[in-house]
Amino acid sequence: MKLYLYDTTLRDGTQGENITFSADEKVKIALRLDDVGIHYIEGGWPGSNPKDMQFFDLAKRVSFKNARLVAFGSTRRPGIRPEEDDNLKALLTSETPAVTIFGKSWDLHVEEIMANDLQENLAMITDSVRFLKSNGRETIYDAEHFFDGYKNNRDYAVKTLFAALEGGADFIVLCDTNGGTLPFEIDSIYQEVHKLVAAESGGGSNGAAVKWGVHTHNDCGLAVANAITAVSAGAVMVQGTINGYGERCGNADLTSVIPVLDLKMNRPCISGENLKKLKSLSRYISETANQVPLNNRPFVGKSAFAHKGGIHVSAIMKAPKAYEHMDPALVGNQRRVLVSDMSGKSNIEYKARELGIELDTNGYDSSKIVSEIKQLEQKGYQFDIADGSFKILMEKFTDQFEPLFNLESFRVTIEKDKDQPCSSQATMKISVGGKEEITAAEGYGPVSALDNALRKALDRFFPDLDTMRLVDFKVRVIDGDRGTAARVRVFIESRDQDQIWSTIGVSEDIIEASWQALADSFQYKLASESQLRSERMPAQEELPIFGK
């Protein structure tokens, strides 16, 4: 049976701490989700806030090629008719082809939280679903807190499902709203519910007439496992969010659910070409949410296919499957080999090929480079987290580094007035291709001032730097027993629209260490841009000849 992916990043995902999107951003995200092949995109709750109402107004002018847009809401309020309920009317006003409403499955919520009557709650579910169906909407019913309700009062929890079926619900979605259910419980409860519903509705021994879905939360770290278990038990709709964003510990992460279904369970839900867009989708949404991507996120994280130990690297050079459970390219990711004091010759040789660097051009072979790196790491460098600085270091070792700018000098001043916070200014002199530029800039601190001054100086020569920005800055004391004279390590992570890279600096002077990392970051960015331009430029003999 076909599987349906239901994304709720724009509604449930925004309930996560520090996650927010504007209405315009939600439209852009919805289009990216549609492009990947998501079947249902939940845009928000139109009856709850002006931003979601604005989103649905904007979405009316957007055409989706794969997805059905969904408006989310609740059942009618107690004691009124559906056509009188503002929430249900707002769902219809949104003009989405599908709607999702949630209702209470746990008698605790009905009686103690809502102070409602159990029978009235059943009527609310049936009336609301029937009202939406009568207005031509595909209706998805989310049975909120179903698993907790089932464990507390099985008979009543199942009655709420029949109430939704009586109203004509197209999907019944069982929700682990508190995220406390375990995979074996998901499996057994799904099996029991299928049999109970099938026996009552005549849907066959496995309840095939009912289209089941699952909505899981990650409070026990099991949201993905529970979603996959539900599919194995018969669910055909999986609800989740990109990157697992959501309330408390988050929702089932669709960037894990999708490849598991497609590649591990042979239950394809998007095309192979769309599967390759998964990493870029993850990065796009983390960027829009202003969240630093998790390196260790399965499948799409920067470290998902990273190898550090020399024995591991030696093995994957012969047979990648020796230490990789799948081809990273299938999800748009790539293999990474890290270099550290644990590295061997295999790591260096692999990285050199990856970076296009020739070894032993000046006496520096892989053995000598390994020795040099281990000495540098003894001083506090850490190249497994600084791929940008490592590339530059390798080029310097082998006399292949061509700096795109050179620092002539800089001066940083910090001023503190009695009643004002510190202010910082940086004056900088650089040279590019023999041409000098002197400039000055202010910043929120000395490193910010240096960053601004360097950007300002380079802008004359390299106008594309506005796409680059720093996203992380960390300082760590390496040998704290020396007090304020201790050596420090500065780590900078930068990104543009295509990539993320990291650089490092080490010194007893925090400004010097910061400058090392900052300069490497800009050198890496400019070298990448230069390489892209050269790849796009036609070969010399193909260039048109003018004036003849």
Give residue 387's region: left, alpha or beta (phi > 0; psi -120 to 50).
alpha
Name which of 198, 100, 110 is nearest 148 in CA terms. Answer: 110
Domain for residue 281, yes or no? no
Contact 69, 122 (CB under 8 A): no
- pLDDT for 538 equals 53
Is residue 332 located within the same domain as residue 185? no
Is residue 125 located within the same domain as residue 11? yes
Domain for residue 398, yes or no? no
Is residue 472 located within the same domain as residue 527? yes
- pLDDT for 81 equals 96
- pLDDT for 302 equals 85
Domain for residue 94, yes or no? yes
Is residue 163 located within the same domain as residue 207? yes
Domain for residue 277, yes or no? no
Domain for residue 280, yes or no? no
Sign of CA dihedral 432, 434, 439, 445: positive
Is residue 113 located within the same domain as residue 194? yes
**CATH number, domain with residue 27:** 3.20.20.70
Last residue of one domain, picked from the residues 215, 245, 270: 270
**CATH number, domain with residue 519:** 3.30.160.270
Is residue 188 located within the same domain as residue 225? yes
Write down the residue that tokens 């004036």 correspond to.
547
- pLDDT for 100 equals 98
- pLDDT for 313 equals 78
User: Where in the sequence is the domain holding 367, given as residue range(s)?
Assistant: 306-378
Q: Give the DSSP H/E element, type plus range, for residue 512.
A: helix 510-536
Is residue 507 located within the same domain as residue 458? yes
Which segments of 7-99 does DSSP mark as H helices, in order?
A: 23-36, 50-59, 86-93
Name which of 208, 223, 280 is nearest 12 in CA terms. Answer: 223
Last residue of one domain, picked from the residues 360, 378, 396: 378
Query: What is the mean pLDDT of each successive set of 10 residues along the chain, which is 548 residues long?
Result: 95 95 95 97 92 95 96 97 96 97 96 95 98 98 98 97 96 97 98 89 56 98 98 97 97 98 96 95 89 91 85 84 94 82 70 79 76 83 84 88 94 88 93 94 93 94 86 82 78 86 93 95 90 61 38
- pLDDT for 347 equals 78
Burial class (CB in 10 A: 0-12, 13-18, 19+), 41: buried
- pLDDT for 60 equals 94
CA–CA separation, 315 vs 337, rounded Å? 12
Burial class (CB in 10 A: 0-12, 13-18, 19+), 318: exposed
- pLDDT for 384 equals 75
Domain count, the chain: 3
- Give the strand order in the sheet containing 500-507: 469-477, 488-495, 500-507
Domain for residue 227, yes or no? yes
Is residue 346 located within the same domain as residue 480? no
Q: What angle do CA 177, 180, 184 make, to 5 degrees?
A: 110
Is residue 173 located within the same domain as residue 91? yes
Is residue 137 located within the same domain as residue 253? yes
Domain for residue 118, yes or no? yes
Domain for residue 145, yes or no? yes
Last residue of one domain, picked from the residues 342, 363, 378: 378
Is residue 118 located within the same domain as residue 223? yes
CA–CA separation, 74 vs 127, rounded Å? 12
Contact 362, 399 (CB under 8 A): yes
Distances (CA, A) of 477 to 106, 255, 338, 414, 506: 52, 36, 23, 22, 10
Contact 107, 163 (CB under 8 A): no
Strands (E), 58-179: 68-74, 98-104, 138-144, 171-176
Is residue 252 located within the same domain as residue 174? yes
